[in-house]
Amino acid sequence: LGCEYQIHLTRDPGGRDHMLLKVDRGEGVEPGRADELGREIIYTAKHKLLVTPEVEVVEYGALPRTDRKSKRVFDTRITDSVV
């Protein structure tokens, strides 16, 4: 895997949270390994974080690269008011 990733957090109309993890395949990694890498990430997240994300392994260079600090977490869930 490459060093670039993004975490997208959303909430469906039923109130369930959803996590999409986009990861850079990495330079030199065969495109045919994307499914295998995705399954490994799902397994690790499920057993270490108790979260089952959707994983999208993208082409090397598809995620933005910058010399500055990258934005990695995109949380579009509606924030509920605390009563």
**Domains of the chain with CATH codes:** 5-75 (3.30.300.30)
Residue 11: partners with Cβ closer than 8 Å, 6 or more residues away: 17, 18, 76, 77, 78
For 56-77, b/e burial (b = at least 16 CB within 10 A) is ebbeeeebeeeeeeeeeeeeee
pLDDT per position as a tens digit, 1-12 = 888 999 999 998
| Structure tokens, 60 | 């090397």
pLDDT of residue 83 exceeding 60: no
pLDDT digit string, tens, across residues 17-72? 999 999 999 888 898 999 999 999 999 999 999 999 999 999 998 998 877 888 89
| Full-model pTM | 0.82
